[in-house]
C-alpha cells in the first residue's frame, strides 16, 4: 500500500509523499476499517468493503480521477477478466483472479468472492498500487501523475532524485526507452515543422510508434504494480505519465500529418512549438531522476508549456473544428 515514507523532492503534503490509508466504512453497525462477511453467492468465499482516504484529510467525494482511472484499467486490461467504467455513476467494475471488484470515484472499494481474509488484504494491497496513478492529490488538486512529472507546478520542489534505482535494469530500461522515444518525436517535430513551412504534402507512418508507446505504458504500469517501495512506485508513475503523454503527442502529430497543407491553418506552428516544449519538459523530467544537476529544470520548462498551451487555446476559441481537434489536449490540460 502507499505507506508514508520519505520521498525527497516533494512537498510533504503531496499524496506521493504522505501516501494513502484505509478509512472507516460508515454503516448501521458502526465504523470498521475492513468489513468482512461471508459471500452470499459462493460458499466458502468472503466479501469486503473498504474506503481509501488521505492522512489528515479523510475521505473525499473525488478520490480517483475517473478518466485516468479508466485509462489505467484499460492499459492493464490484459491482466483483468473484465473492465467496465461508468462515468455517469462514477464507478468501475473489474474481475481479477476470481474476484469481482467495484471501484468508486470516492475511494470506496467492494471486493466480492475473495478466498479468505488474507486474499482480501492482498487484493487491497494490489489495488492501492494499480490505482495509484489516478489518485487526486489534495495538495495541488491534480492527479499524482502530474506530481510525479513535476508538471502540477506545486508539489515537486525539484524533480525527485531517484538515483538508487539506477542499478535496477527494469527501471533504467524504461527510462532509456522513453528517452529514445522522446528524442525520436523531437526529430519528427523538427522535420514536420520544416515541411509545414514549405507547404509540402506529408505522408508518414505512425503505426509502429503507437505500438511501441502502448507497450511502454503497459510495462510501466506493471512496474507500478510490482513496486516494493515508494521510490519505485514514484518512478513507475513518472514513466506511465510520460508514456501516456507521448501517446497523446503522437496522436496529434499523426493528425497533423494526415491533414492537407490548406486545412492546417495558422494553428499548426504554435501547436508544434507547444508540443516541442512539452517533449523537452518530458525529457528533462527523466534527466532529473538520475542527474542532480538537472533537477530544477523541469519546473521552469512546464511553465513554458503552460504558456504555449494558453496561446494555442486562444487561437482556437472561435473555431469549432479546431476545438474538436484539441479536445484530447483540453482533457490533459484543462486550465
Span 203-242, pLDDT tens digits: 556 677 888 889 889 988 998 998 888 878 888 898 899 9
CA torsion, points 294, 12, 108, 233, in degrees to nearest 10?
Answer: 40
Structural domain count of the chain: 2
List, as one string, the DSSP characters of 200-266. Answer: -------HHHHHHHHHHHHHHHHHHHH--SHHHHHHHHHHHHHHHHHHHHHHHHHHHHHS-TTTSGG
Query: What is the per-residue pLDDT across 275-287, written as a single tens digit (0 to 9) for each?
Result: 888 888 888 777 7
| 114 and 180 together in one domain | no
Query: What pLDDT is stored for residue 335 in this prediction?
Result: 57
pTM for the structure as a whole:
0.86
Query: What pLDDT is stored for residue 79 in this prediction?
Result: 93
Separation in Å, CA 5 to CA 38, 107, 232: 35, 21, 12
Q: Indicate whether 319 pLDDT > 80.
A: no
| 238 and 126 together in one domain | no
188: helix, strand or coil: helix
Domain membership flag for residue 7: no
Higher-pLDDT residue of 277, 189: 277
Query: What pLDDT is stored for residue 221 in this prediction?
Result: 93
| 62 and 199 together in one domain | no
Query: What pLDDT is stored for residue 241 in this prediction?
Result: 92
Single out the residue of 187, 190, 191, 186 nearest to residue 203, CA to CA.
191
Sign of dihedral through CA atoms 154, 271, 237, 234?
negative
Give me the mean pLDDT over the 256-282 stretch. 74
Three cell numbers, residue 62: 473525488
- Tell me the C-alpha distance between 213 and 174, whole Å: 11
Query: What is the per-residue pLDDT across 103-157, written as a single tens digit (0 to 9) for each?
Result: 999 999 999 989 888 898 899 999 999 999 999 998 889 999 998 888 888 887 6
| 188 and 105 together in one domain | no
Find the range with the poorest average confidence among 57-61, 252-256, 324-328: 57-61
Domain membership flag for residue 35: yes
| 211 and 129 together in one domain | no
| 53 and 191 together in one domain | no
Q: What is the CATH number of the domain that holds 122?
A: 3.30.310.10
| 230 and 273 together in one domain | yes
- The boundaries of the domain holding residue 195 are 163-332
Q: Indicate whether 4 pLDDT > 50.
A: no
| 203 and 104 together in one domain | no
- Tell me the C-alpha distance between 229 and 6, whole Å: 10
Find the range with the poorest average confidence among 94-98, 225-229, 254-258, 264-268: 264-268
Within the chain, residue ranges assigned H as helices are 15-18, 66-75, 117-130, 144-148, 169-198, 207-226, 230-258, 268-290, 297-315, 320-332
Predicted confidence band at 316 (pLDDT cuts at 50, 70, 90)?
confident
- Give the rounded percent of residues in the chain with a pLDDT score beyond 70: 78
| 207 and 319 together in one domain | yes
Query: What pLDDT is stored for residue 1 in this prediction?
Result: 45
| 112 and 173 together in one domain | no
| 29 and 76 together in one domain | yes
| 125 and 177 together in one domain | no
Q: Indicate whether 159 pLDDT > 70.
A: no
The residues pairing with 38 across neighbouring beta strands, listed in sequence order, are 46
Predicted confidence band at 261 (pLDDT cuts at 50, 70, 90)?
very low
Amino acid at each position: 500500500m502507499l505507506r508514508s515514507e520519505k520521498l525527497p523532492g516533494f512537498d510533504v503534503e503531496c499524496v506521493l509523499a504522505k501516501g494513502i490509508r484505509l478509512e472507516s466504512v460508515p454503516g448501521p453497525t458502526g465504523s470498521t476499517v475492513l468489513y468482512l462477511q461471508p459471500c452470499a453467492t459462493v460458499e466458502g468465499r468472503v466479501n469486503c468493503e473498504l474506503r481509501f482516504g488521505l492522512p489528515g484529510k479523510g475521505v473525499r467525494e473525488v478520490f480517483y480521477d475517473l478518466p485516468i482511472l479508466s485509462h489505467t484499467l484499460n492499459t492493464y486490461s490484459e491482466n483483468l477478466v473484465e473492465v467496465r467504467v461508468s462515468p455517469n455513476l462514477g464507478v468501475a467494475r473489474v474481475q481479477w483472479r476470481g474476484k469481482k471488484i467495484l471501484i468508486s470515484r470516492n475511494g470506496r472499494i467492494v471486493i466480492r468472492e475473495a478466498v479468505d481474509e488474507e486474499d482480501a488484504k492482498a487484493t487491497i494491497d494490489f489495488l492501492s498500487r494499480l490505482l495509484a496513478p489516478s489518485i487526486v492529490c489534495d495538495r495541488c488538486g491534480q492527479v499524482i501523475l502530474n506530481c510525479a512529472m513535476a508538471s502540477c507546478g506545486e508539489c515537486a520542489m525539484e524533480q525527485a532524485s531517484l538515483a538508487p534505482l539506477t542499478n535496477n535494469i527494469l527501471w533504467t530500461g524504461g527510462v532509456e526507452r522513453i528517452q529514445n522515444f522522446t528524442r525520436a518525436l523531437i526529430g519528427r517535430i523538427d522535420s514536420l515543422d520544416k515541411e509545414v513551412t514549405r507547404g509540402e504534402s506529408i505522408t508518414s507512418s505512425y503505426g509502429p510508434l503507437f505500438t511501441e508507446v502502448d507497450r511502454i505504458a503497459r510495462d510501466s504500469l506493471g512496474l507500478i504494480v510490482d513496486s516494493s517501495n515508494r521510490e519505485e512506485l514514484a518512478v513507475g508513475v513518472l514513466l506511465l505519465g510520460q508514456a501516456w503523454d507521448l501517446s497523446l503527442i503522437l496522436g496529434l502529430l499523426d493528425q497533423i500529418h494526415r491533414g492537407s497543407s490548406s486545412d492546417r491553418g495558422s494553428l499548426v506552428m504554435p501547436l508544434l512549438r507547444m508540443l516541442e516544449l512539452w517533449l523537452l519538459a518530458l525529457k528533462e523530467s527523466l534527466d532529473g531522476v538520475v542527474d542532480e544537476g538537472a533537477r530544477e529544470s523541469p519546473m521552469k520548462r512546464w511553465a513554458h508549456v503552460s504558456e504555449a498551451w494558453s496561446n494555442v487555446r486562444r487561437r482556437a476559441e472561435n473555431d469549432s473544428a479546431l476545438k474538436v481537434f484539441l479536445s484530447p489536449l483540453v482533457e490533459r490540460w484543462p486550465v
